[in-house]
Structure 1
Amino acid sequence: MQASVDDVSSAAAPVTRSGLRLLLLPLVILAGMGLSVEAGLLGPLGVQVGHLWATLSIFGVGSAILFFLLLLSGPRKGPAFSELPRWQLIGGFLGPIYVVVLTLATPHIGIAMTMIAILSGQVGKSVLIDHFGWFGATRKKVNGERWLALLLIVAALVLIARG
């Protein structure tokens, strides 16, 4: 008798929530480092070919890679795109806006300033999303530690701007 995938996965030790967080944190940090590299590449590319063309090239390469990975991953599970709430697809508009701003800002204010400014916006909005539970996120009230973290990020922004 052949064991199913479910049988094998249930026999393996479950990953705890805190264990998963510890595994994902380095991956997320590496992804953040990738954004800094992307900013370093996009700034000069935008100056050479134009900011919109640079953005298109990044999304074109990314789309080609994702298409290839999707071909290898097999059939998609879940609802059809036509069944999804339209607000969930807003990210498709936000990604190119982010990359165009990254491409425009980096040559003028530098990679460090661009990244800390982006981080300020990301963390500030993320705290609000968590606090109010927007977009189906689990609600996490803003507490003193979160306010302090925001303050420190703004302080980092000011210090990098002055340095």
Structure 2
Amino acid sequence: MFRGILFAFIGGACITLQGVANSRISHDIGTWQAATVTQFTGFIMALLIYLFVRDGDLGGFRKVKPLYLAGGAFGAVIIYTEVTAIQTIGVTFTISALLIAQLCVTFMIDAFGWFGRTKSKMGAPQLIGLVMMIGGVLIMKL
């Protein structure tokens, strides 16, 4: 469990750092250009790590549903929307809003068992926690 929490914190920090860097790149060369550079450098990094680690089977791609293989395409939308939001409403409010959006979508994924996930019981305590987070972000923004 500790390892999962640690990786979540590292991932969250990297998302924030990437958003700020992308915003700066976007300011210099344009938002879609920033998305292109980010996606390309991410691909190169992932490819290099794969070449050294080789922890998977490339033949496994045939087993994955095409919808899931398109998941990387969300990255371009994420970068564009995050950069635009950072430039419009600032880093703190953007990341807060992103987290709330993630929680709302993951709440629905868990509750309804989308994407082959096992349904999780999502009740009043989870909903109250989500509403409290939204309230906290609104208070922080005021």
Counterpart for residue 35 of structure 2: 55
Q: Which runs of 5+ in 1 are unaligned?
A: 1-20
Counterpart for residue 46 of structure 1: 26
Contact 2:39–2:75 (CA<8 Å) still a contact in 1?
Answer: no
Counterpart for residue 145 of structure 1: 125
Distance 2:70 2:135 in 1: 31
Which structure shows the bigger proportion of residues in helix conformation?
A: 2
Distance 2:55 2:15 in 1: 30
Identity value in percent: 19
Q: What amino acid is aligned across from residue 65 of structure 1 in structure 2?
A: M
RMSD: 1.7
TM-score after normalising by structure 1: 0.80
Q: Which runs of 5+ in 2 are unaligned?
A: none
Quick one: structure 1 residues 119 and 75, their matched pair in 2 at CA, closer, same or farther if it must change by over 3 Å? closer
Counterpart of 1:36 (choices 16, 24, 31) is 16
Distance 1:107 1:75 in 2: 38
More displaced stretch, 78-87 vs 56-65: 78-87
Shift of residue 79, structure 1, vs aligned partner: 4.5
Q: What amino acid is aligned across from residue 61 of structure 1 in structure 2?
A: T
Counterpart for residue 124 of structure 1: 104
Counterpart for residue 14 of structure 1: none
TM-score after normalising by structure 2: 0.91
Shift of residue 60, structure 1, vs aligned partner: 1.2
1:91 is aligned to 2:55: no
Structure ID, larger Rg: 1
Q: Deviations over 1:49-83 (max 9, x none)?
A: 10001111111111111111111123732744244
4+ residue runs over 4 A deviation: none
Distance 1:55 1:87 in 2: 21
Counterpart of 1:113 (choices 93, 103, 117) is 93
Quick one: structure 1 residues 155 and 76, their matched pair in 2 at CA, closer, same or farther if it must change by over 3 Å? same
